[in-house]
Amino acid sequence: MHFAGQHILSVNQFERADIETIFAVADQMLPYARRKRVTRVLEGAVLGNMFFEPSTRTRVSFGSAFNLLGGEVRETTGFEDSAIAKGESLYDTARVISGYSDVIAMRHPEPGSVAEFASASRVPVLNGGDGANEHPTQALLDLYTIKSEMHGRGGDIDGLRIALIGDLRYGRTVHSLCKLLCLFQGLEVHLISPPELRMPGDIVETMRSADHKVTETEDLEDHIAHVDIAYSTRIQEERFGSREEADLYRGRFRLNQNIYTQHCEPNTVIMHPLPRDSREGARELDDDLNDNPNLAIFRQTDNGVVVRMALFALVLDVVEQVDRDARDVNWYTGSRFQ
């Protein structure tokens, strides 16, 4: 794929070679994201960061990634603060904002909305999540994390054994991740969810067509026993008809230190796209795992910046220029990154 000027809307756009390109550029971004070096390659460029659904890490990491390349960020959050609340169409909003920006990141509650917006945009649009449909940049950062965790254990993505746990029906991160995993070979995938919240059938079929061994189950303890990655997800309350309906499933599959010690292999990596629901009654990923060295959730969030920097550098075609005119940072940066 030729990245310059392209929208990033779905993981279906990628071939395996594209993933390798993105990950190689992400590696190149590490010194900048880890606060060792500074680059101003996107000085003067503007990111339109448009988030019409709640977000902390995706919104802030898109913005930070752009800032770390030297660019500036203009932001809109929520419908109520934008002209969409006055009835403006996605088409008009896209025409307007793309006149003010060089690239746009967008999150919206309707499946397909970011693609509709992109078709009217005059600049590249990166999908930050469109309803329950897709979250391609999250899937890329998840895969980048899986690759680096497996590398540290002498393994690889091909042949990976992974359990995906929780709300697989509405969780867009696992939808995109499963599609992306179809570019790799010989995976064993355990889909652990209540029957009502199963992974959509077309995605399961796509994985089986890719020759992956896929099991759908309600049995957490047996199916986390022999996996490299246990990927937990939050019940996507906002996609249910009511809070009461979401309550039926909240807390159904809990991973905590005790369950981990009893059932998982000692090296199993624990992942979650975050936010985890830490309220009593939910706790799908318990805080008592915080000191477990295999808990990769904050390595995932750190990797979000690296991967998003790579995507900006690729779609704005500055990869070759990033290291030019770079310098070391001149402030105290500590040792906050693992």
List of residues contacting ligand NCD (CB under 6 A): 57-58, 129, 135, 138, 172-173, 234, 236, 273-275
Measure the N-to-C terminal CA separation of the chain; round to a whole number of Å.
32
336 is a catalytic site residue = no
Look up tokens 């292999």; give the residue. Answer: 265
213 is a catalytic site residue = no
Q: Residue 172 or residue 299: which is nearer to ligand NCD going by CB?
A: 172
Q: Residue 135 or residue 147: which is nearer to ligand NCD going by CB?
A: 135
Q: Which amino acid is at 35?
A: R
Q: Residue 186 or residue 275: which is nearer to ligand NCD going by CB?
A: 275
283 is a catalytic site residue = no
Closest approach, Cβ 139 to ligand NCD, in A, equals 10
233 is a catalytic site residue = no
Closest approach, Cβ 251 to ligand NCD, in A, equals 15
Closest approach, Cβ 58 to ligand NCD, in A, equals 4
57 is a catalytic site residue = yes
Q: Residue 193 or residue 236: which is nearer to ligand NCD going by CB?
A: 236
Determine the Cα–Cα distance for residues 16 and 184; give it in Å rounded to an integer: 8
Catalytic residue among 34, 59, 135, 147: 135
Closest approach, Cβ 134 to ligand NCD, in A, equals 9
Catalytic residue among 7, 34, 107, 276: 107
* Of 145, 89, 147, nearest in space to 119 by CA: 89
Q: Which residues have a catalytic role annotated?
A: 57-58, 86, 107, 135
